[in-house]
């Protein structure tokens, strides 16, 4: 794996922070653990719920487990705040388990980047809400959210 720079770089402006958030959303919606891991430093540290992850190998293992159980995963992220090399986002994703039970998971993330635009810290707090399939709001084909699809604020989430 490479440590190739990942623009945009800090310090962030509103425009570059929004761009960084959308790039992260697009990566996660790919559901490709190896691709997603390249956005993080080789020694990146995460707290995701009550799980602590360090480094790209653990990130790949974590995401592989995640997307094996969170089926038809679709995610929307939205910029909350930014300063220097830090970005705060809120997000919501929808998925179902292998028994067909649907969930909408809401959360917040705090990110810190190195000078090359790689994320070195990620702290995520997430709450899960069981929903009926008829309550889903994300219906685009798997992969990148279309540009004309409403964001979280537009959806009232």
Q: In the predicted model, what is the mean pLDDT of residues 127-132?
A: 98
- Give residue 154's pLDDT: 97
**Token reading at 133:** 């399939």
Closest alpha carbon to 77 in 132, 24, 123:
24
Given a cut of 70, is residue 23 above it in pLDDT?
yes
What local confidence, expressed as pLDDT, does residue 73 receive? Answer: 98
pLDDT value for 149: 97
Backbone angles phi, psi at 139, to 5 degrees: -125, 10
Domains by residue range for the chain, with CATH: 14-138+147-155 (3.10.450.50)
Q: Is the peptide bond before 8 cis (omega within 30 degrees of 0)?
A: yes
What pLDDT does residue 91 have? 98
Across the range 20-44, mean pLDDT stands at: 98
> In this model, does residue 87 exceed pLDDT 70?
yes
What number of H helices and E strands is found in the chain?
4, 6
Of 1, 24, 8, 6, nearest to 124 by C-alpha is 24
Q: Is the pLDDT of residue 1 over 80?
A: no
Has residue 2 got a pLDDT over 70?
no
Q: Which residues contact 104 (CB under 8 A, 6 or more apart)?
A: 92, 93, 94, 128, 129, 131, 135, 136, 137, 157
Sign for the pseudo-dihedral over CA of 119, 35, 150, 135 = negative
pLDDT given for residue 3 in this prediction: 83
Cα dihedral 78/103/33/109 (nearest 10): 40
């Amino acid at each position: 794996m490479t440590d190739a720079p990942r623009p945009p770089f800090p310090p962030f402006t509103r425009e570059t922070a929004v761009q960084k958030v959308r790039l992260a959303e697009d990566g996660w919606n790919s559901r490709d653990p190896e691709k997603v891991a390249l956005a993080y430093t080789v020694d990146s540290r995460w707290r995701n719920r009550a799980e602590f992850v360090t480094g790209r190998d653990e990130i790949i293992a974590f995401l592989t487990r995640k997307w094996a159980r969170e089926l038809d995963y679709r995610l929307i992220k939205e910029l909350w705040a930014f300063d220097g090399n830090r970005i705060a986002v809120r997000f919501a994703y929808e998925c179902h388990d292998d028994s067909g039970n649907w969930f909408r998971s809401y959360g917040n993330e705090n990110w810190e980047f190195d000078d090359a635009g790689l994320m070195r810290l990620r702290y995520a707090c997430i709450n899960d809400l069981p929903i009926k399939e008829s309550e889903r709001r994300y219906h685009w084909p798997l992969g990148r959210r279309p540009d004309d699809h409403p964001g979280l604020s537009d959806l009232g989430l």
